[in-house]
Structure 1
């Protein structure tokens, strides 16, 4: 493509004598005369000091913009919001969390559309950042790459944020002292990065990589690492390559790509939130994905990764043995992935995985197909009078096929948590929390505080 063809959006904003006022404004933010002839690439940063998940993303955004400049484009950094699930969890503020996904998508779409960017890179850290960024990518359908901010390093004694939630439950039962609770609180979160197990952020980052919207192993890098800086540099080059080749998100976000994302989510033992977010992304992209797709794939795809919260290992330990690329190669070689799907490298998934080396022979984190954690999906779609349109349960395989118990029904998360902590809810009870859905809440707060208190 010619340089003018690469500038189909930005040329409308800056070309011609009548656009002198536009150029004048842009000169004030650092544009030089030669920059007006370059493709303009937005860098959507979710940087914020409200959460460790995002506190470093300004650095990653600046590195990405510089990489775009080095590759012949003009990088322009702008911000969108982020809220912290870990901080708002268990409070009225959690009602804003799911809504923030749409705010992120709306704001990125607004800036990219208003400013006439020819493509963009979106960088996300906390849970709702990932689907919000990808929904914007799908809506705009301009060449785009997603960069994951990266996972946090382990805390003391391999602790993470859920260790603290569980310590609250242990403290309520008298199992640990005030001093021990403070020690856990003070040593679980050592610095930047998203929660260190296969929770929502790492699950969605992995699913997005499987979709083909991020570069290989972008989902499996620590937030503070040379590999993450390299990821940003490669993303700046990749987005211009997509622009040059005319590859758009609609070429990547196909039915097969979503099946790949679901498959990788299952194999990793990923979060139930992946169901919620992948359905929303697919709807935005105009792809027909339903709960039935999760059921059908779940009947044949095994859980292979022994990663927290269901398993033993942390994301940083999975990174040490090679990340998720060897797992994806295993899945591809055994017929579980569609290798012909296009990705942001400009190559197919199979081409990306062609030279990936297997995991070390002595590692214990990712099982073989002959010895899976679970022979089918841990994400089970349930139907019944409580959920006639379906509900998602995370099943490890140790629960048995039937459970009977006394139902204890509470009208809010707060009242349920109080009953757990004061001992009203006991082993064998069924806990039902009403009025916490998308409408009733409103906002569909996640119930990590009650579930962790039970586990603690």
Structure 2
């Protein structure tokens, strides 16, 4: 399912279509699931708000089928792997630093500072967007030509994109959706945080677990989401991420048929002190790719580790609730 990227649409009229794209995805999911009479789904979820677009459609369809006494709907998500941040080629980096020096010498201190700061970040869609604005300013003050702007922008894009796709390493909406959907209990632990596309063995683990819960109402997608919403809110507030997730998580509960609003989100958030457990940084090797590497190396269990850490800090977490793995969190942490 195609979805726009906020990282490249921001600061343009394209952002007017951003939130609407999530709801259109939900409609498409319902259309296809109903047209083919599917009772379950393996969701190859992508970036930005597309995971919640799919999720909202599925929970709403599950509710619809429940109301017409049909079979429950089940779904297991396989998030796209995490991309390692790109690297600016040395020659281009030298050119950008020269532009920064020129900006400083000509009295454009703020522009020089912005160039230097942005060079500290790994390459991904949001840093490309930052460079786009910086380069436009450079053209306006005649530090570079319009042709140089386009050439530099193209070279940055080439060194950012990956032929295998994936989600950028920063903790934006894409990876926030990954962690949120995982903490909602909808992702098998074998595929939660990968640095490469999943192997056939990993996919088989997902399929096997999904088949083990089919026809069991307690593992339907709307049930899992409603039972795990407080866990997910606490995990997201303990780890940071995109503020966009507030509206996406509220929407998921509304699509699932519950009366739920921002005040409910705030009530759950404020019910107990939540520690900051993720020292995330895009400049110090503590991005989501580094977290995925730890998971692949067996040094972390991703969301399971996050939930366990919150339990150890006496944050009330619902451990007896179902997840799509066929186990409760208590069983998974055991």
TM superposition score category, shorter chain reference: 0.7 to 0.9
1:159 offset after TM fit, Å? 2.1
Of 161, 166, 171, which aligns to 1:189?
A: 161
The structure that is strand-richer by fraction is 1
1:151 offset after TM fit, Å? 2.0
Whole-angstrom distance in 2 between the partners of 1:310 and 1:200: 18
1:84 match: 5
Whole-angstrom distance in 1 between the partners of 2:267 and 2:329: 22
**Residues 1:122 and 1:318: Cα distance change in structure 2 (over 3 Å):** same
Maintained 8 Å contact 1:151/1:316? yes
In the superposition, the TM-score normalised over structure 1's length comes to 0.54
Of 183, 205, 208, which aligns to 1:237?
A: 208
1:92 offset after TM fit, Å? 2.5
* Larger RCO: 1 or 2 (CA < 8 Å, sep 6+): 2
Maintained 8 Å contact 1:135/1:284? yes
1:234 offset after TM fit, Å? 2.2
The structure that is helix-richer by fraction is 2
Maintained 8 Å contact 1:198/1:268? no
Maintained 8 Å contact 2:49/2:177? no
- Listed as ranges, the matches of 1:259-408 within 5 Å are 259-299=230-270, 300-308=273-281, 313-321=286-294, 322=300, 323-336=302-315, 337-354=317-334
**Residues 1:133 and 1:116: Cα distance change in structure 2 (over 3 Å):** same
1:259 offset after TM fit, Å? 0.9
2:220 match: 248
1:82 offset after TM fit, Å? 2.7
2:57 match: 136
**Residues 1:230 and 1:308: Cα distance change in structure 2 (over 3 Å):** farther
- Listed as ranges, the matches of 1:51-130 within 5 Å are 81-130=2-51
Q: Deviations over 1:241-275 (max 9, x none)?
A: 11154431233122x51111111111221101100
In the superposition, the TM-score normalised over structure 2's length comes to 0.72
Maintained 8 Å contact 2:171/2:241? yes
Q: Does 1:156 align with 2:87?
A: yes
Structure possessing the higher radius of gyration over alpha carbons:
1
Question: RMSD value over aligned CA atoms?
Answer: 2.7
**Residues 1:180 and 1:120: Cα distance change in structure 2 (over 3 Å):** closer
Residue ranges of structure 1 left out of the alignment (5+ in a row)? 1-45, 47-80, 355-456
1:399 match: none
Whole-angstrom distance in 2 between the partners of 1:200 and 1:217: 22
- Listed as ranges, the matches of 1:25-64 within 5 Å are 46=1
SS in 2 for 1:97: helix
Whole-angstrom distance in 1 between the partners of 2:23 and 2:202: 26
SS in 2 for 1:140: helix
Residue ranges of structure 2 left out of the alignment (5+ in a row)? 63-72, 89-121, 295-299
Whole-angstrom distance in 2 between the partners of 1:275 and 1:311: 27
SS in 1 for 2:189: coil
**Residues 1:306 and 1:112: Cα distance change in structure 2 (over 3 Å):** same
Whole-angstrom distance in 1 between the partners of 2:276 and 2:240: 6
SS in 1 for 2:291: helix
Whole-angstrom distance in 1 between the partners of 2:332 and 2:17: 38
SS in 2 for 1:146: strand
